[in-house]
Structure 1
Amino acid sequence: MIEKILNTINSPKELRLLKQEALPQLAKELRAFIINIVATKEGHLGASLGVVELTIALHYVFNTPNDSIIWDVGHQAYGHKILTGRKNNFHTNRQLGGISGFPKRDESIYDAFGVGHASTSISAALGMALASKLKGDTEKQHVAIIGDASIAGGMAFEGLNHAGVTDANLLVVLNDNAIGIDPSVGALKMYLTNVKKGTQKRNNIIKALNFDYSGPIDGHDMEGLISELKRLKKIKGPKFLHIITTKGKGLKQAEADQVKYHAPGKFDSLTGDIIPKTACMLPKYQDVFGHTILELAKTNAHIVGITPAMPTGSSLKFMMDAMPDRAFDVGIAEQHAVTLAAGMATQGLIPFCNIYSTFLQRAYDQIIHDVALQNLPVIFCLDRAGLVGEDGATHHGVFDLSYLRCIPHLIIFAPRNEIELRNIMYTAQLGLNQPIAIRYPRGRGVTIDWRQSFSKIEIGKGVTLKKGNTLAVLSIGTMAQYVSEAVLNLNVSHYDMRFVKPLDETLLHDIFKTHKTIITVEDNSIIGGFGSAILEFAAKHNYRNTIKTLGIPDVFIEHGSVDELQKDIGLDVEGLEKFFGLFL
């Protein structure tokens, strides 16, 4: 039996020793390796399958790790990881204690830049290229690989704009497959489509930015790729290579349904069929949002929905399908999404701006300057708040309470279940005269019969879930379910505060006067979060109760299942019960 070529590759050094005619076979083996592992271990599939030839060609032509390869987002970097010394532990990908699902500088010298969010590669690669020039290294190469969805992000344009007036040794490779997680949108996407069809002059945008443009070429033609990369390697200054690829290449189902196979879960590696998960009647929070905004929009003509490139993940897709003129996918452009919502609000519309917690960080100035400062009633729906699991540190939504709580005018609400989410959405569209942020987690809720009649929530009012004696536990959001289970057999009071801002001060005064010890529980950073708000309240009113805060510690939490991560930091039921017991 002939030994597989991939078995002989432990680093790009071995790869570069191969004859070029052996590379298509290596590509076939690399695809099969990715498919077989992801089929059982799960992860991001389609993006990595689409760039197998590009990945091999880059490491074959460029002298990595001395030459820098920077992947945008990193969904597509599995092949890169396998070829750069992580083949034997690739099966630990995204698992607790295993390798990260994204490029990470402290994981490998071949990961030139840590990524997880979109549109960063060009700026980072340009920074490296300018640094090399300042250090007198004129031979070092710097390559940014960016998708057609990510290049539409504003930061990518900022990087292109700057690079075009430098003589930096930078190559931007546009991996054009017409899809990100969902299909790409916008005028730039239309332009690229017309370039591929031959109805648009190929290089007018890129040439205008002073880049040496080449393409579009077939991104699955190994010989053509290598030839063009070798040519571009000799050209000084900013260069731009436009390649056309198919996301999911090599797995029929992944090519046919690129949205589903972006991260398909477990599937049969031979047939490609997705293995159904055990049926669960409990809804996903994102679907509760998606169905509820559509329900509300049918009776309130002023409601509009906005998402930056996540219509499926946020479930705004339901409204986009039913009311395409009132639901907007603006592409990977969080800053634009927020200010677009602000503009709509000035005209009497009621914008629900749905952005994942970790991505809203990218639009911080717009929240302050364009929304809160003008006190515009934008409704922010922060999906994926708290720990999100296997995507790890780049995707955990554990900072939003801290970075939002200091902003004047902004209401902050965290529902403990699906019914509360529906009711706060209903309340917000009734006519709030200020902005509100509603945060909720990834995954499923706790209520089967969640489609209940709406009821209005009084702003700034918490609720009592359990009465005890000297110890009071104050929770926020869906952490309530873990606390409720932990205090089931304890003589402890439990309050769901619901609002981080404004706090229910009437309830808090009563709590502080009737309990010796107060413990706060949140799935946000302890620093600056809900617990900090309670400490500030106590200081303001000269309370001397014992106050303990539980939440995300002052470290970046790595990847693993949510249950594993919560247990690791003591936010699971067992950890909470043990901690509460210390004060009884």
Structure 2
Amino acid sequence: MEIRFLDKIKSPNDIKILSDVDLTVLAKEVRETLITTISKNGGHLSSNLGIVELTIALHKVFDSPSDQIIWDVGHQVYPHKLFTGRYDKFSTLRKKGGLSGFPNPEESNHDIFAAGHSGTSVSAAYGLSVAKTMKEDTKSFTIAVIGDGSITGGLVYEALNNAGRNNTNLIVILNDNEMSISPNVGSMARYLAAIRTNPIYYRAKEEIIELVEMLPNGKKIHDRVSEAKKLLKNYMYKSNFFEDLGFAYMGPINGHNIKSLCRALEGAKEFDKPVLLHIQTIKGKGYYHAEIDPAKFHGIGSFDIATGAPMNNSGIKKDYSNTFGDYLCNLAAKDENICAITAAMTLGTGLQNFAKKYPERFFDVGIAEEHAVTFAGGLAKGGLIPVFAVYSTFLQRAYDEIVHDVAMQKQKVVLAVDRAGFVGEDGRSHQGILDVAFLKSIPDTVIYSPSCYEELGMMLENAIYGPGNVAAVRYPRGKEGYIPDDYKPLNETASVYGNPKATTAIVIYGSLFSNAVLAKEELAKLGKDIKVIKLNRVWPIPSIALIEGMKTEKLFFFEEGAKSGGAGESFAYKLLKRGYKGSYVHVAVENSFVHHATIQELQEEFNLSPKRMVEKILGEV
């Protein structure tokens, strides 16, 4: 497709001069660019295809960055990046040193508030709008764009409840596509469906406007019947939940009609109170494969545009997430007390088969990690065995609930911590590097970390039936790594691979075992005898590992996680208490948020790749 407009847009001001016909062409160009780029780089496709027209309308009506647009979660921000001077760099999307896949204020002053987690936009936008009011800026607007999936989380209602009390220039746009990542669940999803199926007033209003404006002197007629329309609203339309909170409610309207969107946004600016504009969109709009399977194309690697099939697809779907789901199904077949919980991530956490086999024991609570943990505590109190499958980065949101509603209550809850460690191109908001540090601070918590699928099964069973009120099993994104033929997984808290008498050891846990073994093999070629002390139970630190450490002159603890509060710090402390006199090097992520790059690139950068392990050891030995 020939690009006529998109490559000429250097700022949002360039959109304002385009005609309605030009804007329609622009929307097609944006979709073409999204599909082409994401097919090569991977990324979030469905959500961005669904929000193209809204993004055009926002930049047509408002003046970014003085009018501040806050994107909830942020994975739908690609069109916004294209319109704010980043078209020329768009081919670098999600690559190391390139454009982030999420809003990043360090990248552009049009990215007002960094995001990556769900439900934060209304709180942030309300704060910004109050700040403007206090600084006597009464002309500019703050706009939060949030999906119907995100409003299954409680933080949004805290913000709406607070914001509705004050007359600030706040506009909340509810992008209703009936999806988050998996299909939406819960009472609010049903409530929005009821609004969608009975939008009497607003659709009648839109149709009346379009009809009247086609008539001679239509604008004059339109102005004179405005009072009649108010009477029509009072007669036909009762207040809804959002109006009861203090918002002016508009919608639902077609989120793919640029003209209607611009009209609605201009109308929203006229209220002297916060506004909630409800739009309806199609997730995956404009790309056949994404429209029929938006969940598959929510976050996807490189793919063939013609077929939608992933590139470099081996046909083997086995990975840690799906393997976890299979093991949990097997355990649930033997124990009817086992339940599974997800926070709107059924497919992402590998629970799709569990949901089909045991629907009465499967709970999708929506994007509500805090609720999920406390709900799990209640299930445990009632005699069940809840297993909450959640990405490491999202578990951060439920820390207090783990402390107060599980550990303090002395209830057994199992946390299946997916995407632990580096996750790659999703960047700062999604790296799973904090879970060990914050979980091990909680009394009576046990943390396991497998290095292969077989160990995952063992550790999941240990977590369910073994010690600890909070029992976490953490595992990485993707497939298991290199496992040497002579390695035999043992159901022990720790193990030693290699010559037990070696005076130098690598200490690791989880998926870094593969890198450690490769480093050991490379060092063996150089005449260096190295053993690997492997923590199967990361916390509490196993006595077996400490005994092995005390017998070793030089220890190198490599950890794909935060250094401060990490397992490596605790390992060193416990060795010192036992009187350790050897040398100790701890390599981990030191006091930083980890940017986007491939997992391999990040391991190289943070000295956790086999090559960097070898260099580190040779530099010290």
- The question of a shared fold, defined as TM-score above 0.5 by the shorter chain, is answered with yes
CA-atom RMSD in angstroms: 2.1
Task: For residues 415-469 of structure 1, give each alpha carbon's deviation from its aligned partner in whole angstroms, at most 9, with x where no partner exists.
Answer: 111111101112233354622111100010148999xx9x9945xx211112242
Separation (CA, whole Å) in 2 of partners of 1:288 and 1:384: 13
Alignment partner of 1:210 out of 246, 254, 258? 246
Question: Structure 1 125/565 Cα, relative in aligned 2: closer, same or farther at 3 Å?
Answer: same
Instruction: Render the CA deviation track for 1:133-156: whole Å, top value 9, x for unaligned.
Output: 010101110000000000111111
Structure 2 match to 1:505 = 543
Instruction: State the partner residue of 1:471.
Output: 504
Tell me: CA distance 1:287–1:334, structure 2 relative to 1, closer, same or farther (3 Å).
same
Unmatched segments (≥5 aa) in structure 1: none
Deviation at 1:506, TM superposition (A): 4.2
Whole-angstrom distance in 2 between the partners of 1:380 and 1:223 = 48
The DSSP-based 3-state class of the residue aligned with 2:465 is: coil
Higher Cα Rg: structure 1 or 2?
2
Instruction: Find the residue that maps to 1:43 and give its secondary structure.
Output: coil
Q: TM-score with structure 2 length normalisation?
A: 0.90
Amino acid at match of 2:575: A
User: What is the rounded CA distance, in whole Å, between the counterparts of 1:3 and 1:516 in structure 2?
Assistant: 64
| 2-structure distance, mates of 1:550, 1:449 | 24
Tell me what 1:481 maps to.
514
The separation in 2 between residues aligned to 1:202 and 1:90, in whole angstroms, is 45
User: Residue 378 in 1 paired to residue 413 in 2?
Assistant: yes
Give yes or no for contact 2:494–2:544 (8 Å, CA) kept in 1. Answer: no
Separation in structure 2 between the aligned mates of residue 2 and residue 390 of structure 1, nearest angstrom: 29
Matched residue, 1:185: 185
Post-superposition Cα deviations, 1:328-381, rounded to whole Å, max 9, x if no partner, equal 111100000100111111111111111100000000100111111122110101
Task: Report the CA distance shift for 1:206/1:534 in structure 2 as closer, same or farther (over 3 A).
Answer: same
Instruction: Tell me the SS of whatever aligns to 1:88.
Output: helix
> What code does the residue aligned with 1:137 have?
D
Bigger drift between 361-370 and 515-524 goes to: 515-524
Range moving further from structure 2, 497-506 or 167-176: 497-506
Q: 1:392 to 1:364 in 2, by over 3 A?
A: same
Letter in 1 for 2:348: G
Counterparts in 2 of 1:399-438, with a 5 A limit? 399-430=434-465, 432=467, 434-438=469-473
Alpha-carbon offset, residue 540 of structure 1 = 2.4
Among the aligned pairs, what percent are the same residue?
Answer: 38
1:222 aligns with 2:255: no
Q: Are 1:535 and 2:572 counterparts?
A: yes
Residues 508 and 80 (structure 1), Cα distance of their counterparts in 2 relative to 1, 3 Å cut: same
Q: Which residue of 1 aligns with 2:583?
A: 546
Give 3-state SS (helix, strand or coil) of 1:444's partner: coil
Matched, 1:260 2:296: yes
Aligned to 2:593: 556
Quote the Cα distance in structure 2 between the aligned partners of 1:279 and 1:483.
Answer: 26
CA displacement at 1:34 relative to structure 2: 1.1
Distance 1:298 1:199, change over 3 A: farther
Name the residue aligned to 1:81: 81
Q: Distance in 2 between matches of 1:162 and 1:94?
A: 35
Partner SS state of residue 140, structure 1: coil
| Matching of residues 22-61 of structure 1 within 5 Å | 22-61=22-61
Equivalent residue for 1:445, pick from 480, 488, 504 = 480
CA distance in 1, matches of 2:32, 2:483: 40
Distance in 2 of aligned mates of 1:343 and 1:567: 43
The equivalent of 2:272 in structure 1 is 236
Tell me if structure 2 keeps the 8 A contact 1:217–1:243: yes
Q: Which residue of 2 aligns with 1:493?
A: 531
* More divergent stretch after superposition (92-101 vs 496-505): 496-505
Match of 1:91 in 2: 91
CA distance in 1 between counterparts of 2:47 and 2:316 reads: 31
| Residue 313 of structure 1: aligned partner | 348
How many Å separate the matches in 1 of 2:490 and 2:557?
26
Give 1:577 shift: 1.1
- The answer to whether the Cα contact below 8 Å between 2:167 and 2:273 also exists between their aligned partners in 1 is yes
Alignment map for 1:114-125 (pairs within 5 Å)? 114-125=114-125
When normalised by structure 1's length, the TM-score is: 0.95
Q: Is the 8 A contact 1:46 1:258 kept in 2?
A: yes
Question: Are 1:341 and 1:378, in contact at CA under 8 Å, matched by a contact in 2?
Answer: yes
Match of 2:231 in 1: none
Write out aligned runs for 1:268-347 (5 A): 268-269=304-305, 271-279=306-314, 281=316, 283-347=318-382
C-alpha distance in structure 1 between counterparts of 2:483 and 2:591, whole Å? 36
- Relative distance call for 1:556 and 1:176 in structure 2 (3 A) is same
> Aligned AA for 1:85?
G
**The residue matched to 1:426 in structure 2 has which SS?**
helix
Q: C-alpha displacement at 1:553, in angstroms?
A: 2.4
Q: 2:393 aligns with which of 358, 368, 392?
A: 358
Displacement after TM superposition at 1:199 (Å): 8.4
90-99 vs 1-10, which moves further: 1-10
Question: Do the aligned partners of 1:355 and 1:380 also contact (CA within 8 Å) in 2?
Answer: yes
Give the counterpart letter for 1:181 in structure 2: I
Cα distance in 2 for residues equivalent to 1:229 and 1:435: 48
Q: For 2:161, what is the secondary structure of its paired residue?
A: helix
Matched with 2:224 is none
Task: Say which is worse superposed, 253-262 or 79-88, in terms of deviation.
Answer: 253-262
Q: Following the alignment from structure 1 to structure 2, what is the Cα–Cα distance between the partners of residues 298 and 434? A: 23
Q: Deviations over 1:497-554 (max 9, x none)?
A: 2222111124413421x21121111111111101111122023233232111012222
Contact 2:253/2:279, CA 8 A, preserved across alignment: yes
